[in-house]
Each structure stands twice: as C-alpha cells, then as structure tokens.
Chain A
Amino acid sequence: MEPLKNVKLSTKNVNLYYGENHALKDINLDIATNKITAFIGPSGCGKSTYLKSLNRMNDLIPGCKITGQFLLDGEDIYAEGVDTNVLRRRIGMVFQKPNPFPMSIYDNVAYGPRVHGIRNKSKLDQIVEESLKAAAVFDEVKDRLNKSALSLSGGQQQRICIARAIAVQPEVILMDEPTSALDPVSTLKIEELMNSLKEKYTVAIVTHNMQQATRISDYTAFFLVGEMVEFGETEEIFSRPTDKRTEDYITGRFG
C-alpha cells in the first residue's frame, strides 16, 4: 500500500508495557485526516490499549510504560512539557459504555467548553445546540435539555457523549467500541452519525464487529496479541488480505 497522504496522527515503533506484560509490540501506524480508521482484532489484542495511548489515557494507569514516537500534526504527543489537557481537548474520546455525567443534558454537553473557560451563556447555548445537532440527537432531547442525561436510553446517552466530545471542538475523535453496549437500532444511528462526523473530524474507532468496520471505515488495522498484523484500505483488507492471520480472522476462523 502506498503511504498515506494527509496524515493526522503518526506513530512509529510504539511499545507499551503494563509492568511485565508487553502489551503493544513495535506498532507503526498512520491515521489519515478526515477519514475513519478502524482497529479490529480479537479481545486482548491491544487495539483498545493502542487507541488510549493516542490521547495518553494510559497515563492514568500505574505501571504503564510507553516508548516510541507519536506525532499529532508533527508534534510529539509524549514530549516533555506537553499539556495533556490540551492534548485531550484536541483528541477527544468516546468510551465503550455510555458514561454521561449525572447532570442535565445541557450541563453534560457544556461541561467541556466550561472546563476550557467559556462562560458566556449565549455562546454556550450555541455550542450545545450545534454539538447536539452534530451528534444527531438534538431533535430527541431539545425539549428536555434540563433533564438528567441518565434518564435517556443507552443509544441516546451514547450520542450525548459524542456531542459532549464534539463540544470541545477536537480535531480527532477516538471511539472505543462505542456501540458494543447498544441495541441494533441505536447502533445503526451511531454508524450513520459517524459518516457525517468524518467531514469535520478525524475518527479512529475500535470495534470487534467486522461488519461495522466494513460499513463505516476507510482504513482498517488488524491487531493480534499486541502486534499490528496488517493495515490498509478497508476494502482491500476485507477482500484481499495479504496476511494469513488476517484472513483467518475475518473469515471467522477464530476470534
């Protein structure tokens, strides 16, 4: 495969250890701007770990050691002096389980902007509305923005979480199996939403659902026991995998 154009995030020789456990081995991977890149692989293969290392969420785990190069627009993410809070504003994250805060829908979405210093009420109103619209949930909740976000269904909660991530205007959105806890209808809604998201954002998504990867992603990376086995355009990977292990996985021989 040819080198990618428009690389947003570039990683080279990434190794990650949890104590003794060598969880990521020599990963080299680029993520393209305004595209959806999917990470697939059996559970425990390191795909989520890799995703979390992209905005340094692994920093929170004691005993975690990371080496290698991570570049966001050419800037080293792990360099000394990097403000992780700025990094995480630029690289947002949506988690596996919908995790809205126990506050109103409005306050959930306004949380990020407020944290980053926006106090102006009309500005906040505008951000909340735009974010909810971008997350395709505005029409469902516009009459009850002051209700607790916990009163919503799981699918709506997850879209609130996406709106919350969008509200800080990130450049990259990382999604860690965002639909695994949802029903098929909600999943479909979120998949549709992702297609519109990539116009503005660069998206990286972990999924163990291969149909989902084929439906939504432009590029796919296949992980296996801490290694990245194969990376390429999604169509290529699923129709003409070059590695035997990839073929075995996508044809359902294991996993």
Chain B
Amino acid sequence: MAANVKENSLCKKHRRPSDIILQIVIYICSALVVALTLGMIIFIVIRGCEGMSWNFLSTPAFSYPYENYGVLGNIINTLYLVVITMLVATPIGVGAAIYLTEYAKQGRLTQIIEFTTETLSGIPSIIYGLFGSVFFYNIFKVNYSILTGALTLSIMVLPTIVRTTQEAIKTVPAGYREGSIGLGAPKWHMIRTVVLPSCIDGILTSVILSIGRIVGESAALIFTAGIASEINISSIGDIFSKVMTQGGSLTVQLYQYAQRGGAELKYAFSTALVLLITVLIINIAAKLVAHSVRKKRG
C-alpha cells in the first residue's frame, strides 16, 4: 500500500466521465419536464385567444337557427356537477374517515374499508363511466343526466376525500383528544368540538382538490352526463329539474370541438384555456389552504 500514497496526492483529480454524463442527463430530463409544461401552457394560451370573445363566454353552444360557439352552458353544467358531487361525496367521505380513525377498532372491517378505498382510487375513470351508466340507468331510467354524472363522480372522488381526511385527522395531536376524553366528554362531542375544528383546513384542501378532479374529468362523464350544451333554465323550477337532463361538461365540449376539428378547433383551444385557468385557480386555492395549515401547525 505504501506505493499508493504518492499516487494518492489530494490534488490529483479523479475525473469520472460517467458522473458528468449522468449529471447532464439529470439536468436535461428536468429541463424537458419544465419545457413540456411551459410549452403546453403557452401553446394553449396563444391558440386559445383566437376563439376567445365575450360572446364565447356568455352564450351556450347551439346550431339553430345559426351556428353559435359558446361555453356558458357547459360552464353551468360543470358547476352543477361540482356542487352535486361535493354535496354527496363530502359528508360520506368525511364520515367514513371519522369512522375509520375514531370509531373503528383496528380489525377486519377497517382493513376491508381501507383496502377498498385504495382499490377505488386505482380504478380508471372510464370504468366509473361504464358502471354509472348502467347502475344509475337502472335507478333513474334515463340514459344521460347531470345527476347520473354527479353520482358517478361522487363514487370516484370518495376515496380521495376519505384518505386525505384520514390524514388530516391523524395530525390532530393526541393531547387534544386526551384532554377532552379525560374530562369525560362523550366521543361525538369530542369529535365535533376538538377533532373537526382542528383539521377543517385539511378537509377543505381535499375538497378543493376533488373539485379540481371533477372539473378535469371527461371519460366518466361522456357515458353518464351526456353532451348537451343548452342552458334550459327559464323558471325557478328548472333549476332543480335540470339535474335530470343531459348536460355536457367543459371537458366534454372541448373533446367534441377537438374531434370535429377544422374551424371548430380554435374553440377547442378556447375551451381548453377556460379549463386551464379554472384548474389553475383551484390548484392555487388548494395550495393556499394547505399553506395556511402548515403555518398554523408550523
């Protein structure tokens, strides 16, 4: 080994070409990801502006008596889907999470529920679409309706809400809980006054993220909520009866424009721009809430 010592001079750089190559590869891959994202967004913004107008945003699409391109009808349909889905899925999801974390004894049932929520979250949306179209047809006897779409989406976002709520509940310090239980407070009282208030922002984040997923969903809706783009609201009663009629979301409308191609392509991009901005706002909102949670806990 003595011979080694001189050769071992500290300043003798051992260059490793493989290191440099790998490092370059890593930087290229990361740059590629950023370039892809930026490129996609810039492309949509530029192409989306072509067909964008106040008329596009403020009228629904119809083809009689003349061809009109607009997304208001689809925006309203999307809103319907979001509201109904969240009204159904949030209480059930939060309830299931409370059951899992607060009531259930660690045993077979909780294992099954956890396994199934995991399974649900892995099922692709097209399967939800197929399932929803048969299952809710058997119940409502209509082929396509906003309600069918919304209920299908409820099942789809349920696992996300359960899981994230569970995570949020688990972060509530045990001390809070013990403080309340130790004083003899009944369980539901403890949950209502201690657990839920301190994880409400966690639940809110998961709700916002689920809304993002609903807004971007298409495959599960095409067989369930349909493709109509009329507004069809002329009286107060219509607001409620609309849920039993067909209603295409923004994504479905975008798909149709894109499929038809030609002159309608620019409206596909305009719809994409509307979608993109909506999704961005939703994501930023989720970030802000999550940030405020971290700050509070911080």
Contacts and interface: CB of A to CB of B under 8 A. Distances in A.
Nearest to A90: B8
A83 B4 contact: no
Interface in B1-31: 1, 4-5, 8-14
A72 B4 contact: no
A220 interface: no
Interface string A48-81: 0000000000000000000000001101110101
B1 A83 contact: no
Interface residues of B, number: 10
Nearest to B4: A169
A72 B8 CA distance: 11
A127 to B, nearest CB: 12
Contacts of B4: 169
A83 B8 contact: no
B1 A75 contact: no
A76 B9 CA distance: 10
Interface in B60-77: none
Contact of A169 (B1, B9, B11, B12): B1
A82 interface: yes
A81 B14 contact: no
A4 interface: no
A81 B11 contact: yes
Contacts of A87: 10
Choose among B4, B5, B9 the residue with the greatest number of A CB atoms under 10 Å from its CB.
Answer: B9
A89 B11 CA distance: 13
A118 interface: no
Interface residues of A, number: 16
A86 B15 CA distance: 11
A79 B10 contact: yes
A169 B9 CA distance: 15
A251 interface: no
Contacts of B14: 83, 85-86
Nearest to A75: B10
A190 B112 CA distance: 49
Contacts of A81: 11, 13
Contacts of A89: 8
B12 to A, nearest CB: 7
| Chain B CB within 10 Å, residue with most, of A77, A83, A85 | A83
B10 A86 contact: yes
Interface string B203-230: 0000000000000000000000000000
Contacts of A86: 8-10, 12, 14
Contacts of A171: 5
A77 B12 CA distance: 12
A40 B20 CA distance: 41
Contacts of A73: 5
A78 B233 CA distance: 77
B10 A82 contact: yes
Contacts of B10: 72, 75-77, 79, 82-83, 86-87, 90
B292 to A, nearest CB: 28
A171 B11 CA distance: 16
B15 to A, nearest CB: 9
Given A169-B1, A169-B4, A75 B9 contact: yes
Contacts of B11: 75, 79, 81-83
A43 B224 CA distance: 67
Contacts of B5: 73, 171
Nearest to A80: B11
Nearest to B10: A82
A87 B11 CA distance: 9
Contacts of A85: 14
A55 to B, nearest CB: 11
Contacts of A169: 1, 4
Nearest to A73: B5
Contacts of B8: 86, 89-90
A85 B14 CA distance: 8
A102 B4 CA distance: 31
Contacts of A79: 10-11
Interface of A: 72-73, 75-77, 79, 81-83, 85-87, 89-90, 169, 171
Given A83-B13, A86-B14, 19 more contacts: A72-B10, A75-B9, A79-B10, A81-B13, A82-B10, A82-B11, A83-B10, A83-B11, A83-B12, A83-B14, A85-B14, A86-B8, A86-B10, A87-B10, A90-B8, A90-B10, A169-B1, A169-B4, A171-B5
5 contacts: A81-B13, A83-B12, A83-B13, A86-B12, A171-B5
Interface of B: 1, 4-5, 8-14
Q: Which A-B residue pairs are the 5 nearest by beta carbons?
A: A82-B10, A81-B11, A83-B13, A75-B10, A87-B10
